[in-house]
Amino acid sequence: MLGLCAGLAAAPTPAAALVQCGGASWYAMTSRTASGERASPDTMTAAHRSLPFGTRVRVTNLRNGRSVTLRVNDRGPFVGGRIIDVTRAAASRLGFVGAGVTRVRIEAAGTASRADRSSCT
């Protein structure tokens, strides 16, 4: 289920205060992204519905604890319950290429405390 982690208001938050929990999927497109750059499945980038292009987010797979830092360069996902789409390379590092989807926590890179990191269930 899509939602914000405990303790955050439902209103949009600045990237520095971002902590969201929900579904993630991966894609391997090679066309232009919403930011205008050429997509590559081998880059460490992601699509998010509203974060500004260039925002760096730390994405943690809640099923296995693996994390990566990604740069937002596209818009999406547009599937209910999902909060981020990542490239194939990112999904590989996060350990969910085979599954196609997983549950993740996303946070502004370098800003969350350890207490924040345990707030997703």
> Which domains does the chain show, CATH number per domain?
3-117 (2.40.40.10)
Which residue is listed with tokens 């894609």? Answer: 27
Q: How many CB atoms lie within 10 A of CB 46?
A: 28
Q: What is the pLDDT of residues 18-36, one digit of tens each?
A: 799 999 999 998 999 999 9
Pairing relation of β-strands 19-27 and 82-87?
Answer: parallel
Look at the pTM and tell me if it is higher than 0.85. no
Q: What is the pLDDT of residues 63-86, one digit of tens each?
A: 999 999 999 999 999 999 999 999
Q: What is the pLDDT of residues 35-61, one digit of tens each?
A: 999 999 999 999 999 999 999 999 999
